[in-house]
Chain A
Amino acid sequence: MLLPLALNVLALGASYALVALGFVLILNATGAVNFAQGDLVMIGGFVTVVLASYLPVPAIVLLPILLAAMAALGVLIALAAYFPLRNRPPEAVFISTIAVGIILQNAATVLFGPEPKAAPPLLGVGEFDFGGMFVSRQSLAVIAVATLLIGSLYTLFAHTQFGRRLRAVAQDREVAAAIGIPVDAMIAGTFAVGTALAGAAGLLLANTFFVTPTEGANYILKAYIAIVIGGWGSIPGAVAGALLIALFEVLYPSMPVLLPAVGTGSGLFSQNTSTIVLDVVILLTLVVRPQGLFGEAIRQRP
């Protein structure tokens, strides 16, 4: 009972973490919110569905192709919606990426229709038997792939010159340029990485949850919330925030099953109530700790 539940939490949380990470990378590099991040998850799902219809192979094989395609899309978005507005206040980019989201959503509706579609599983269907406990292969594969991606990202940022320079650009763009870092290329690169991560999340989620053109709003809100819980701009915080959201989403509706004492039947543990409770918790977090649960106190400079 508990093991499958824990794996569900991890699988969902890891997928959300990819979305949130992509979001926070772009946020850090540009100071702007990419509101199309949720729709990019959706596009990732649809591209996987399309790829799978030409190449009937497990989704894991499609992943590298998807990452490359999404990275290219990310550069395109940077060119169309970020660079022209780079000297405007951050709200301008917020709005231009809302426009990008509308375009992506409607393009998906036109191209794929409004019906939900499913992507192939990562490795295959079926369950593993852990001494009587049955664990879905897909969940395990999702956790493995997401962990691998997050791990590579961590290595990239902590241990490569490229990653350090991305961080330098995020912290002080002017000085970064003055010590030789090509800032525009780095920002385009950040959009590529962030978009690829959203696409990967789309591939991972589109098997279990299907993919529909309008689902982006759901994911952007979760990414946004994960970032706020984790501390605005904090990368480990984004991962932790995503896991917490998943933990809540999986555990809350199963409360009546886990703890029969709390009662069943009432609408208190429906999907909708679960979202409302989560929302209220987030609002309280914002009010009590605007710097997030893991964020450090805001640094002020004169």
Chain B
Amino acid sequence: MRQAVPWVLLACVLAYDGYAVATGSNYTLRVLSVAGIYAIAALGYQFIFGHAGALALSQGTFVGVGAYASAIAAVRWGLPFDAALPLSIGLPVLLAALIAIPVLRLQTHYFALATLIIGQIVQLAATDWIGLTGGANGIGGIPGLSLLGAPIRNGWPTLALVWSTAALGALIVWAVMRGRRGAASAIMRANPVAARAVGIDTARLRFVAFLLSAAFAGAAGSLYVHVIRVISPEVLSFPVMVTILTIAVIGSRLRIAGAIVGAVLVIEMPEWFRFMRDDYLLAYGVILLLVVVTIPEGVVAAAERLFRAGTAPAPPRAADRTFVFPGAALEIHDVRRRFGGVTALDGVSLSVRPGEVLGLIGPNGSGKTTLVNAITGIFPAQSGTIRFAGTDVSRLLPHRIARHGIARTFQTVALVDDMTALDNVALAAPGTWRTARGGAMVLLERMGVDEPMRRCGELPYGMRRRVEIARALASRPRLLLLDEPAAGLNETEQADLTRRLRELARSGLSMIVIEHNIPFLAPLADRMICLDDGRTIAQGRPAEVQADPRVIEAYLGQLAPAAP
């Protein structure tokens, strides 16, 4: 039922198109063609704004650059639509690549501003570079669409070409975002830190998304200029960007059908409100606000939610293999880290041997999680060295460290709630998406997750913890860092977890387990280290550390005086 929603909506769009072809004037058909062009631009915009989750305000600029490229090619060099299309796509992509290098790493609002400013520069350049662009007056007399030398007439042939291109675009989006890239984008949006910790190069993912969005925008611009037949710097102005953003928001930013339904709604809506004459744009603003406030996820996602219940697809077959995890050694020497006036790590040194389970204890705030963050590169150590399997990893980026074979789980479970357990695990696994999912099935079974096709948000808490460990294992780690794996689990679940973790250790995996729950940790750990105030205060076999008076004092307070 839920899967049918986008198709039903698309069928409505198609029916509306057909109705317009049968009854409408050339004007109506042209408006619908423009809607199709915006659908293409919005499909592209979903890559960066939807999937990569970055608020780019440059999509309008890319459309404009593509449009100018086609216009200039057509008028100055006599190139028809199809011959100039590669140029119209290539130029925005090139521009995107150039600005991505300095700008794409910026935080949300900085990125939005930077893209906004680039838009302004391009618009002013188009206005001032009169020799090339015709300045504020723009370029007129642009020929209509044509394919392989055959002109495409106005009216339904143009409409058909535009919407075929939109359909092709939709197909490309579907092909690109299904499977691993979609899953990787989802975890990047939900929790960028976790994404890097499973080895996803988030910078690269954003870069590719940005280039793809520019390519779609370029194609849309090229179509636009051959349908409208004139161009001026207006096409580069902010309202074009706002329209594309509006389409993505109203339609649903992650749904292919959303871009299409949104484009038809947003471009057609002003036509429906024409009877209000001068006030129609006002009504349009009010409706936009109402939609944003009442259904912020967009109409397509909202419609799907109404029909959520449905049968889960069958899980893939588990790969025909078992995993072994050969462990590697970790050497930490004199690691320090400060935050403001607080010293979180004050010269910590420790080592883990291959196949060893090291228990890390200490009061809250003693630096345990900070140490894990330093090992995984999230908050790198400010001094000291961290060597793993013979390599110094202390200056590497988190995803590089992850790919060296260090995997972790988080104190608060960091999964994508509206993705299946299976895909949450598969996104961390190497290989093709098919083998990744097959391998993920094996690991989920091994961790005792019996409903791999349920969305993680619907799984009980204990299950989510297991899914997270399975995800950490999916990247074939040689060292596993577990941050309070037993927190919130009941005794049965704890016992079950101990058994599974011991099994992993027997297969050779090195582990560091942070835990407050000593009864859980003591039988699991080969050795224990106690941190206090950012320093190691004791280490040795679990029983020795538990008996160490410094540990008792730091961790538990002096019990002795209270005892009668």
Contact = CB atoms under 8 A, between A and B. Distances in A.
A touching B, CB within 8 angstroms: yes
A286 B118 CA distance: 12
B117 A221 contact: yes
A98 B288 CA distance: 9
A287 interface: yes
Interface string B331-366: 000000001100010000000000000000000000
Interface in B70-122: 102-103, 106-110, 112-114, 116-118, 120-121
Given A81-B293, A225-B113, A273-B128, A290 B339 contact: no
A272 B102 contact: no
A299 B341 CA distance: 11
Contacts of A135: none
Nearest to A228: B113
A193 to B, nearest CB: 21
A275 B284 CA distance: 31
Contacts of A102: 242, 281, 284-285, 288
Interface residues of B, number: 45
Interface residues of A, number: 45
A275 B124 contact: yes
* A interface majority secondary structure: helix
B55 interface: yes
Interface string A80-104: 1100110010111011101110110
A282 B117 CA distance: 8
B440 to A, nearest CB: 28
Contacts of B292: 81, 85, 92, 95-96, 99
Interface in A154-200: none
B114 A286 contact: yes
Contacts of A33: 109, 112
B491 interface: no
A71 to B, nearest CB: 20
A107 B282 contact: yes
B487 to A, nearest CB: 17
B154 interface: no
A139 B344 CA distance: 53
A290 B107 contact: yes
A158 to B, nearest CB: 22
A302 B378 CA distance: 9
B249 interface: yes
A80 B108 CA distance: 23
B370 A302 contact: yes
B176 interface: no
B281 A106 contact: yes
Nearest to B99: A283
Contacts of A221: 116-117, 120
Contacts of B546: none
A6 to B, nearest CB: 27
A135 to B, nearest CB: 32
B443 interface: no
A61 interface: no
Given A290-B106, A290-B107, A302 B117 contact: no
Interface in A45-102: 80-81, 84-85, 88, 90-92, 94-96, 98-100, 102
A155 to B, nearest CB: 28
Contact of A91 (B55, B117, B286): B55
B521 to A, nearest CB: 21
A301 B293 contact: no
Given A92-B292, A110-B278, 4 more contacts: A99-B292, A280-B121, A302-B339, A302-B344
6 contacts: A94-B112, A99-B285, A99-B288, A100-B289, A276-B121, A279-B118
Interface of A: 33, 80-81, 84-85, 88, 90-92, 94-96, 98-100, 102-103, 105-107, 109-110, 217, 221, 224-225, 228, 232, 267, 270, 272-273, 275-276, 279-280, 282-283, 286-287, 290, 299-302
